[in-house]
Structure 1
Amino acid sequence: MQSSFPSAHDAPALTAHHRGFSLLTEDGEFLTLPAQEVRERLHTMPCPLIVHAPSIARKLGMQPPGQPSPWLDLLELYAFVYPATPVAPTPRGLALALGVEPERIGQAEADLLPLLVSLMLAELARQKNGPNAEFLAALTVRLGQAGWPWAGTVAETLSLPAKLGPRGQLPEEAMQPGDALRIWRTLPKWEDVAPRPPPASHPITAAEARARLTQLLGEGAESRAGQADFASVSTAAFEPRTLRGNPAIVLAEAGTGTGKTLGYIAPASVWAQRNGGSVWISTYTRHLQRQIEQETHRLFPDEAVRRQHVVLRKGRENYMCLLNMEEAVNSAASRPAGVTIALAMLARWGRATADGDLTGGDLPGWFGDLFGQGNIAGVADRRGECIHGACAHYQKCFVEHTIRRAREADLVIANHALVMAQAAYAQNTQSEDGQEDAEEDNTPSRYVFDEGHHLADAADGAFSAELSGLEAAELRRWLLGAEGRRSRARGLKRRLDDLVVGLPKLESPLDAALMAARALPAPGWSGRLAATDNPEQDAPPPPEEPPPTDTSLFPLVQNAPEPVLENPTEVFLKLLRQQVLARSQERNRAEHVYGALECDLHPLLPDLAEAGQALARALRRLADPLRTLAERLHARLQEEAETLDSVTRGRIEAMVRALRRRAITRLDAWIAMLDALDHPPEPNTTPTHIHFLRLDRRERQRMGEQDVGLHRHWLDPTIPFASVMAMPAQGMLITSATLRDRSDTPHIPQHAPDTAQQEQMAEEAERAWEAAEARTGVSHFPAPAIRASLTSPFDYARQTRTFIVNDLDHNSITDLAAAYRTLFQASGGGGLGLFTAISRLRGVHNRIAPALEESGLPLYAQHVDAMDNTTLVDIFRTEEHACLLGTDAMRDGVDVPGNALRLVVFERVPWPRPDILHRERRIHLSGGDTTGYDDRIARLKLRQAFGRLIRSQSDRGVFVLLDRRTPTRLLSAFPTGVEVQRLGLAETARQIESFLAPNGG
C-alpha cells in the first residue's frame, strides 16, 4: 500500500523564519533559502515535511494547497495520532506538545521536524495493538484510497501491509474502510435517568468558600490580594431567596489580576455539592467559556470525574450532527477526494472527542484551514434542521449527551445568549394549568455572570427581532423544505412524519400552515429584489446562499421558478429596500461599503403601511394554524398518556418546542413589528422599542445587497433580561473588571478629606454604582444588590508605560501600518494590535506582514487567518515573538501572562458606532449628557483593552493609542498611577525599547 505514497523517513523538511526558509534536504544538507529558490526546488524535491501547509504556502506567495496535500503536513499526522487534542499549529507548538525540551527546540528550524515525526510515529506504534487498532487500520486504508500522503507511512507504522490481501483489502471479518467513517454505529448511547430532585437552599459561609479556594490554589500558588475577599462576598449570591421574583444579587467589580474565576468557582462548587443543584456560570464568548473550563481542572483533576461534574454548554449549531455526517459519508463517493479525507479525519476526531464541539472545543481550530471549512459546516448541526426523536442517531447525539450531562452537573459553563434564551423560553411556555412545558434543560436557580459588562450587549441580541429576507426565507425552508435544492433541509411535514398521519385534527392545521408558508420569500428572492431597481448596477446581485465550492458537501441546484403571484413578503422587502436606498446618507454609504446602510422606519414610504398590513395578515394565516398544531400535539401527551411510548412522547415534546421556538415566537414578533408601522413614535416621549431599516451588503461589492429587513430592539435591553431572570434565578453574581466607569469613581485627595469632601466622594461613589447597576440591569430587580469592589493587585505605575502617538495622520492607512510595524519591531514582538474596523485591520496586515516576517516577528490576524480566535491566541502565547491583530473579541478575551504579550497597540479611540440604535439610546438613556454617555462607553473599552496587558505580578508591558485626537477626559480609563505621555512615533518606539529591555524601566 505504501509504495504509491511518499515516505516521511528521510524526507526533506521545510520551515519559515525571518531569514527566509530553513530547508533540510533529503541528503541531510541544511540550507537557508529565499522564497523564490524554495518555490523552484519544490518542483524537483521529494514531498517535504512542513507544518501548517496553508501558512507555508502564503509565506511562499503560493495558493494554499487543497486535499490531498502535495506536502507531508505534520499537523495532519498529529490530527490522526492525537485526535481531539488541540495544539498551536507551529513547529514550536508541536514540539512543546510532544514534550521536546525548549533547548532542543531552539529556533524551530527544519531539522526539528524529523524528530517530531519520529515522536508521533512512536506513539502511533503504541496504538496499533490498542482498543482502536481495527478502526485505525480501516481508516488508514480509506485514507490511502483517497490519496492521503501520510497513508503509506502510517500503514507501515501500524504494520498494516502484512494484514492486507493481494489486492490491498482487509480481511472480511475486520472493520472495512467504508465502515470506519460510519462512527454513529460505534458511539455510546445516552440513557435516561430519573429526574434530578430540586436543589436544597442551604447557605454557605465565607469560611467555607475561602477553604475551597485554598484547596483550589494548592501549595506555592501566587497570592492575590482580594481573591479570598471576592470568594467571601460571592457567597451572598447563594443565600436562600426570601421572596418569589426577588433573587439575591451580588454586583462585584474585581480588578484585573484579582483571580475572580477561581474566586467564584470556589463558592459555586461548595453550594452545588451541598445542595445537589447546578450553578450556571455564564460568560460572553466561546473563547472565554474555554478559559473558565480550564480553571475547573483544579477542582476536579481527574478527567472522568470532571466530566461528571462540569459541562460546557453551547447552542446546537456548534456540534457535529451525526445525521449530517451520515449523509456526507454516503455522498462522498461523488465528491472530490479531499472531501473523503476531511470526513475520515472528522471520523477520527468524532470517536475521540469529549462532546462533539466543532467550534472552540477539542477540534483543533486549524482543522478547517487544512481540510476545508465547508466540510466542517457540512456536518454541523445546522440551525432549525434537527428532527430530534425522529433521528435514527438521537440516542447517540452529541448535543443530547451534553444536555443530559448538564442536568446532573455541579457547574455548567454557558454563554449569556444561551442562558437568556433558556430563561426566556421557560418563562414564555406556560401551559394552561400553569406548569412549564418539559424543557431540554432543567432551569437552574443560581447563576454567575462573568464579563458582566457585556450583559446589555448579549440581551440586545437575545431580545431583538428581525423581519428580513434571510430570516423569513429560512423559516420558509424550515416549514417547506429544500424546494428543489439538493439539501437535507426537511420540511415540517417530513419532520412530523407519522405523528400526524391519519389524525385529521392534526393534518388540517398542518396543511393550512404549509399553504400559508408560501407567503414567505420564495427561492431566488434576493436576486429579484436587487433587480427591481438599480438596473444599471455594475455588479450582479449575489445569490441567496453562497455558491458551492470544491469542499461543499451539499451544492445547490437551480432555484425554483419565480412564483406567478406577487409574494407579500417580497413586496414588503422591496419597499424597505427602496426606503433605505432613498434615505441613507452618502457619507454613511461610503463608510459602510463593507457593512450596512440604515435609515429610520418613520416616516414611511408611500404604500409601505399597506404592504405591511397585507404581510401581517399573511403571517397571521401562518401563525394561527401553527399555534393550533402545537396545542393539539401537546394535548396528545395527556390524551394518550397510557399508550404513547417514550420515543414518541419525546418526539412530540421536541416538536412542540421547535414549533414555538422556531416559528410561532418569531411570527408573533414580526406581526407586532408590522402593527407598529401605523404607530409612529410620539414626540417628546421615551419609546420602549427602537425600529429601523437595514440593508446588509456583501464585502467588496458596493451594490451587491445580501439582505434587507425591519429591525426592532429594546431601548433598554436589560429590562427584558431582568424580566426573564427574576423568576428562575434565586441568586446571581454579576462580576467584571470593568463594571464602573473610572470617571464616575470618586477622586481621593492626598490629605484627609473634610466633611464636604467626604459627602462629595460618597455622592460620586453612589453615582458610579447606579450607572453600573443600570448597565447590567440590576436596577430593574426588586431588591438592591450587594455591591463589592476588589482592586487590582498590580503596580501599574511600575509595571506599565502608556503613550498616545501624536504625529500620525489617522486617515492614512499607510501611516497607520508604518506605526504598527515600528512599534512591533521596537518591542521585539509580543504585540497585540487592536482595531475598531475589520477593513483597517486587513489593510494594516497586508502592508506590514512581509516586513515583520523579515524581522523574525510572525504576524497573525483575526479575519485574515482561517483559524478560530482560540487557536490564534494559542499561537500568540506559544510564539514569544509573534504579533497578533484583532478586533473586539481580542480586546475582551485574551489572557496571555508573561512576556508573550508585552505591547498593546490600539488603532484609535473606540467610540461607539454612530448608528440609529446608538443615537436613540444616547438621546433617551444619557440623562441629557450625550457627550458623557459616549465618553463612558469609550473609557470602558479602553479599560478592557488595557486589561489585556498585565496578567501577573511579574509582567511588564506598554500600551499605545495611535489617535492624537484622544481627549484628556478619556484618560481616567487607565489605572491610578499610570502616566499617559503624548509623544511622536519615533520617540515612543525608543521609550518602548528602553522600558522592555532586560534592565529597562
Structure 2
Amino acid sequence: MTTPRPSAELRQPRLLLPDSPALIAGFGRGTLLTPDGELFSGPALEIGRRLRDMPPPMLVHAPATARRLGLGPFPACDLLELFAFCLPARPAAPTPRGLAMALDRDPPEDEEGLAALLPELATAMLRHLAAGRNAPLNRDAAALAAKLGAEVHWPWADSVLAALGQQARPSLDPLKVWRRLPEWEEVAPPPPPAQHPVSPADARRRLAEILGEGAEQRPQQADYASAAAGAFQARETRGAPNLVLAEAGTGTGKTLGYVAPASLWAERNGAPVWISTFTRNLQRQIDQEAARLYPEPAERRRRIVVRKGRENYLCLLNMEEAVGAASMAGILLPLSLVARWALATRDGDLQGGDFPGWLTELFGPHHVWPLADRRGECIHSACGHYKQCFVEHSIRRAKSATLVVANHALVMVQAALGGGEDGRPLRLVFDEGHHLFDAADAAFSADLTGGEAAELRRWLLGAEGGRSRARGLARRLEDLIGDRPDLLLPLEEALQAARALPAPGWPSRLSEMDEPRGTAEAFLQSVRRQILARAKDEEAGYGVECDLHPLPEAVAEAGAALAESLTRLKNPLQALHDRLAARLEDEAEELEVGDRIRIEAACRGLERRALMPLTAWSAMLGTLASPPRAPGLRPDYVDWFALDRREGREIDCGMHRHHLDPTQPFAMAVAAPAHGVLITSATLRDHAGAAEGEEDREAAWRAAESRTGAAHLPNPAIRAAVASPFDYATRTRALVVEDVSKGDPAQVAAAYRALFTASGGGALGLFTAVRRLRDVQSRIAQPLAERGIPLYAQHVDAMDNATLVDVFRAEEHACLLGTDAMRDGVDVPGRSLRLLVFDRVPWPRPSILHRERRTHLSEGQPKSYDDAIARHRLRQAFGRLIRRGDDKGVFVLLDKSCPSRLLAGLPPGVVPRRLGLRDAVAEIREFLGED
C-alpha cells in the first residue's frame, strides 16, 4: 500500500534567510556581524551580552562555538544543520572554512571575512535545494521542514520551505525512509572465477590507463605495480597461495599501484579482489582514490563496495523504533537529518562513510549511535526491513563487485567463521600490512570476562529490566519452534542454564559488597581477589593483571563450578542447533523459502554468538585444572587474569587467552585458503640503520615474514621493496628535545604549547596514553586559541577520527592531538601538517602478553624485540609528515632518554639532532618559515 503524501501548496522558490547576525568564535573572543553591516570583535562576555538582544545568530557548529566563547548553550541558526538537510551525504569539515571549501568557496583568512561569508554559504545551500526541488530526494522535504518548524521551531524551516516553493502539511512520514529505499533481489550464485593471470606488463599498462595521459611519471609506482602482479598468478598447490610482501616508501603511490593489477584480475576472471586495511581512514582513502579507475558514480558504486561490520551501519529497525518513540521532541531534528542522509547515502555507513560524523557532536552520541546495531541484536530475515537493509545490500553487492574494500577485523572474523556471509575471497590485498600481527591478535583471541558473559546472557534471555529491543532467544525463535517438544525442551534447558551467567548489575557485585549470583559471578569475584592480592601498590586506580599460577584453591574451585555450568548451557544449545539444522534436510519439501532462510540464520547465530565462545571459555577453564607450564617452555597460548578500570572505576574482570603467535591462525585461516595474497606497507621491515649490510637486510625480511604470517606458509614469499621518491634530507628535520621532563605534565604541556606556536599550527601531537593527551589538551587549548590556533583532540572532541582528520586537513592553522589511530593511516598533505610532536618513546606496554612474546618470539634478543616495535612506531609517525614532494615538516620527540638506535629507522638522509626546547622552537620557526 502506498502511503498518501502530505498535501503541498506549490509556489515559486525564493531565497529567504533568517534575520540573524553572523558569529565567528575564537577562544574567549568572537566576531559578530549584524544584518545591517555592523561589525564587532571583542571578548566573549561582550559577545554574550550583545547576543541577548539579538535573534539567534548564524554560525557553524553551535556546541563548539559556545565552548570557545565560554558560554552555555544558546539558540542558533547552525549552518551545519542546513548543510545536512540540503546536501545530505556530502562531505564537509564542520568549521566555517571547511564548509566554505565544501561549497567551492575560497575561505578568507580573517574572522571578519568569515563572518561576512556565512550568509553567502547559507544562500548557496538554499539555491542548491531550490535547483533540486523536484528531485526524488526532495519529494517529502517540505513536509519534513514543516514538521520541524511546527514541533521544534527549527530556525531554517521557513528558509527551506521558501527554497522549495512549498507550504506543506507537517508530517512524520518523511522519517519512514524504509518505505522509499530500494530492495535487494536474490540472484543466481556466481559461476566459478576463471584463472587468467596478470603479468607485470599488464599491471603497468592498467596503471597507465588509470593515471591517464599527462600524469606525473613515477617509475617507482610502475615498479611496484609490476611486483604486486605476483599475487595475481594461478595457484599451483592447495594451501600455498602466491604471496607477495611489498614495502613501498611513502609517496610511491601504492594504492593505485595495487589497484591496477587487482582490478584487472577481477575484471578478467569474474570475481572480486578484497582490499583490507587496518583503519577506517585508509578505507575511505582507497575508495576515493579508486574513483580514478571508475569515475562515473553509478559504475563506481557497482564496482567498488566498502564492507564493514554490522555495527557500522544504520539499522532500519532501530530507526523505526526511534521514529515511533512516544516523545520525539528531543530527537526529531537529529532523526530528520539522519533520514535525509539515509535517502542519499551510498551504503548506509554511519562510521567513516558519507555520514556527517559531526552530527554526533551537535546532538550528542546518544541520538545517533543507538541507530546502529551496536549490541548484536540483528534479527536478520525476521526483520520487516530485511529487504531494504544496508548491510544485506552491501553483502550482495560485494559478491559481484570488482573491488571490496574491507578492514582486517572483518576479513579475519569472517575467516574464523569459515568464510561468513561474504564467502572466502580468492585474492586478498592487505594494506597497512604492518598491523596484521595486532589485527590477528584481536581476531583470534578469547575473553571470559564479566562483560562478555553478561552479553551472552542478554542475547539468550533478552532484556531483564530497562529499555532494550533485546527479545531473547525464545522470542526470536518462537515461530520456528512452535510447540515442538524436540525443540522446546533444549531451549528451556538452555535458558535455565543461562542464569549462571552474570546478571544485570553484576559490576556492583564484583567488589564483594554483595553475594554473587551464580557461578560466573563467583568466579569473577575469586579472580578479582587474586589480582588485587598480587598487584603493586602503585597500580591502584589503573587496570591490573596477574598470572594464573600459582592458583589459589578458591579460584580453582570457582573455575571448576563455572565449567560445569557452561557445559550445562552448551549441551542443550548444541542440541537445539543440530535439530534446527536437521529440519533443513528432513523437511526440505515442506519448508517455505522464508522459513529456510530464518532457520539458516538461527543456526548461524547460535554457532557464532553462543557455541563458539562457550567452547573457547570451556577450554580456558580447563587450563586452570592443568599443572602450570614449566618455566622457559614455549606455550601455544598466553592466559592471564585482568581487572579493567576506567578513570579509577572498575568496569570488567576475567580471564584472557591470546595465541602466542597470532600470525599462525591468520596464515592457516585467512592466507592459506586464498590463491593470491599481497601484504604491503610503507614500513614492513625494521630499518635499523642506513648502512645495513646484506645480512641485516635478510634479517629484516625474515622479521617481516614472521610478523605477517608468511613464515607459516609453505611457499616462500616474493619480496619487493620500492624506495620513497621524497627528499627527506632536505624537506624534513628530526629533533629530540633534551630539557623537558616527560614525567612532569606541566613541562610537557608547556613544550607542546611552545612548539605548536612556533609552527603557527599545522601540528599533530601524538601520545602513548589517553590520560596524558587529555591533560595536555586542558592546559594548552586556551593559550593556543588566544594566538589564533584552534586545537582539536581525539578522546575529547565528540567527533569520529575521520571527521577530526577532515577538520585538521581543512584548517591549515589548526592542531590535533591523538593516539595510535592518528599515528597510522592519516593522509594530510600540504601545510596542514608541518609539525609532528611525540610525547615520549612509544615502547610496547609491559603486559603479561608482551612478556611472553618478548621471551619466546625474540630469537633470544628481547631488547631488540622491544626496539623493533618502538622503532617501527616512530617511523610510522614520521611518515605522516611528507605526503607530497613539496611538503616540509619537522618531527620532534620530547624524550631525552630515547636511545639513538631507535632513531636509526628514520628515512635515509634524516639526521636526528638533540637540543633544548628554546633551540627547537627557533629551528622550527626558521625551517618552516622559509617558504
Give the TM-score band, short-chain normalised: over 0.9
- Counterpart of 2:523 in structure 1: which amino acid? F
| Contact 1:830-1:903 at 8 Å conserved across structures | yes
Distance 1:731 1:107, change over 3 A: farther
Displacement of 1:42 in angstroms is: 2.1
Aligned partner of 1:869 in structure 2 is: 801
| Contact 1:342-1:372 at 8 Å conserved across structures | no
Aligned partner of 1:578 in structure 2 is: 529
Question: Does 1:501 pair with 2:482?
Answer: yes
Distance 1:307 1:974, change over 3 A: same
Aligned partner of 2:564 in structure 1 is: 617
Aligned partner of 2:390 in structure 1 is: 398
Cα RMSD (Å)? 1.9
> Over residues 761-817 of structure 1, what are the superposed CA-to-partner deviations in whole Å (9 max), with x where a residue is unaligned?
332221111111111111011111001111111111111111101111111111111
Aligned partner of 1:683 in structure 2 is: 631
| Contact 1:91-1:108 at 8 Å conserved across structures | no
Aligned partner of 1:179 in structure 2 is: 173
Aligned partner of 2:846 in structure 1 is: 914
Residue of structure 1 aligned with 2:603, choices 651, 656, 677: 656
| Contact 1:468-1:709 at 8 Å conserved across structures | yes
Aligned partner of 1:29 in structure 2 is: 38
Question: Does 1:247 pair with 2:256?
Answer: no
Distance 1:303 1:359, change over 3 A: same
Distance 1:788 1:977 in 2: 22
| Contact 1:19-1:32 at 8 Å conserved across structures | no
Aligned partner of 1:692 in structure 2 is: 640
Question: Does 1:152 pair with 2:158?
Answer: yes
Displacement of 1:577 in angstroms is: 1.0
Distance 2:216 2:759 in 1: 27
SS in 1 for 2:136: coil
Aligned partner of 1:432 in structure 2 is: none
Any residues of structure 2 matched to 1:272-287 within 5 Å, and which?
Answer: 272-287=266-281
> Over residues 722-771 of structure 1, what are the superposed CA-to-partner deviations in whole Å (9 max), with x where a residue is unaligned?
1102442111000111111111x6725xxxxxxxxxxxx33222111111
> Over residues 51-99 of structure 1, what are the superposed CA-to-partner deviations in whole Å (9 max), with x where a residue is unaligned?
0111101101134x3xxx7100000000000111120011111111112
SS in 1 for 2:640: strand
Question: Does 1:990 pair with 2:922?
Answer: yes
- Counterpart of 2:146 in structure 1: which amino acid? V
SS in 1 for 2:356: coil
Distance 2:517 2:473 in 1: 24
> Over residues 201-240 of structure 1, what are the superposed CA-to-partner deviations in whole Å (9 max), with x where a residue is unaligned?
1111111111111111123333334111110011111111
Displacement of 1:612 in angstroms is: 0.7
| Contact 2:690-2:908 at 8 Å conserved across structures | no
Distance 1:566 1:951 in 2: 56
Moved more, 270-279 or 371-380: 371-380
Displacement of 1:154 in angstroms is: 1.9
Distance 1:60 1:923 in 2: 53
Residue of structure 1 aligned with 2:691, choices 732, 738, 747: 747
Question: Does 1:300 pair with 2:315?
Answer: no
Aligned partner of 2:327 in structure 1 is: 334
Distance 1:387 1:206, change over 3 A: same
SS in 2 for 1:866: coil
- Counterpart of 1:672 in structure 2: which amino acid? A
| Contact 1:829-1:882 at 8 Å conserved across structures | yes
Distance 1:244 1:94 in 2: 53
| Contact 2:25-2:69 at 8 Å conserved across structures | no
Distance 1:915 1:515 in 2: 38
Aligned partner of 2:82 in structure 1 is: 77
> Over residues 410-439 of structure 1, what are the superposed CA-to-partner deviations in whole Å (9 max), with x where a residue is unaligned?
100000111011111117xxxxxxxxxxx4
Displacement of 1:131 in angstroms is: 2.5
Aligned partner of 2:5 in structure 1 is: none
Distance 2:28 2:612 in 1: 60
Distance 2:690 2:129 in 1: 62
- Counterpart of 1:747 in structure 2: which amino acid? A
> Over residues 567-619 of structure 1, what are the superposed CA-to-partner deviations in whole Å (9 max), with x where a residue is unaligned?
00010011111111111112333xxx3x5111111111231111111111110
Distance 1:685 1:19 in 2: 61
Question: Does 1:588 pair with 2:539?
Answer: yes
Residue of structure 2 aligned with 1:56, choices 50, 65, 76: 65
Aligned partner of 2:410 in structure 1 is: 418
Displacement of 1:18 in angstroms is: 7.1
> Over residues 148-167 of structure 1, what are the superposed CA-to-partner deviations in whole Å (9 max), with x where a residue is unaligned?
22223222332333x5xxxx
| Contact 2:544-2:642 at 8 Å conserved across structures | yes
SS in 2 for 1:157: helix
Unaligned segments of structure 1, at least 5 residues: 164-169, 171-175, 428-438, 534-561, 749-760
| Contact 2:459-2:472 at 8 Å conserved across structures | yes
Aligned partner of 2:4 in structure 1 is: none
Unaligned segments of structure 2, at least 5 residues: 1-7, 10-14
Residue of structure 2 aligned with 1:780, choices 696, 705, 712: 712
Residue of structure 2 aligned with 1:407, choices 399, 405, 420: 399
| Contact 2:16-2:162 at 8 Å conserved across structures | no
Distance 2:460 2:184 in 1: 29
Distance 1:741 1:410 in 2: 34
SS in 2 for 1:482: coil
Distance 1:470 1:137 in 2: 45
Distance 1:311 1:890 in 2: 25
SS in 1 for 2:417: helix
Residue of structure 2 aligned with 1:359, choices 351, 371, 375: 351
SS in 2 for 1:728: coil
Question: Does 1:719 pair with 2:664?
Answer: yes
Displacement of 1:277 in angstroms is: 0.6
- Counterpart of 2:67 in structure 1: which amino acid? R
Aligned partner of 2:722 in structure 1 is: 790
Distance 1:209 1:921 in 2: 39
> Over residues 358-395 of structure 1, what are the superposed CA-to-partner deviations in whole Å (9 max), with x where a residue is unaligned?
11111111011112211112211133211111111110
| Contact 1:199-1:275 at 8 Å conserved across structures | yes
Distance 1:920 1:495 in 2: 43
| Contact 2:18-2:155 at 8 Å conserved across structures | no
| Contact 2:31-2:111 at 8 Å conserved across structures | no
Residue of structure 2 aligned with 1:516, choices 490, 494, 497: 497
Aligned partner of 1:902 in structure 2 is: 834
Displacement of 1:406 in angstroms is: 0.5
| Contact 2:620-2:657 at 8 Å conserved across structures | yes
Displacement of 1:126 in angstroms is: 1.9
Distance 1:304 1:351 in 2: 15
- Counterpart of 1:930 in structure 2: which amino acid? P
Question: Does 1:38 pair with 2:47?
Answer: yes
Any residues of structure 2 matched to 1:81-100 within 5 Å, and which?
Answer: 81-100=86-105
Distance 2:35 2:694 in 1: 75
Q: Please report the TM-score for the alignment, with normalisation by the length of structure 1.
A: 0.90
Distance 1:668 1:313 in 2: 28
Aligned partner of 2:21 in structure 1 is: 12
Aligned partner of 1:732 in structure 2 is: 677
SS in 2 for 1:893: coil
Distance 1:425 1:19, change over 3 A: closer
- Counterpart of 2:163 in structure 1: which amino acid? T
Aligned partner of 1:754 in structure 2 is: none
Distance 1:698 1:971 in 2: 33
Question: Does 1:109 pair with 2:102?
Answer: no
SS in 2 for 1:369: helix
SS in 1 for 2:172: helix
| Contact 1:239-1:248 at 8 Å conserved across structures | yes
Aligned partner of 1:214 in structure 2 is: 208
SS in 2 for 1:351: helix
Distance 1:270 1:7 in 2: 51
Distance 2:281 2:134 in 1: 37
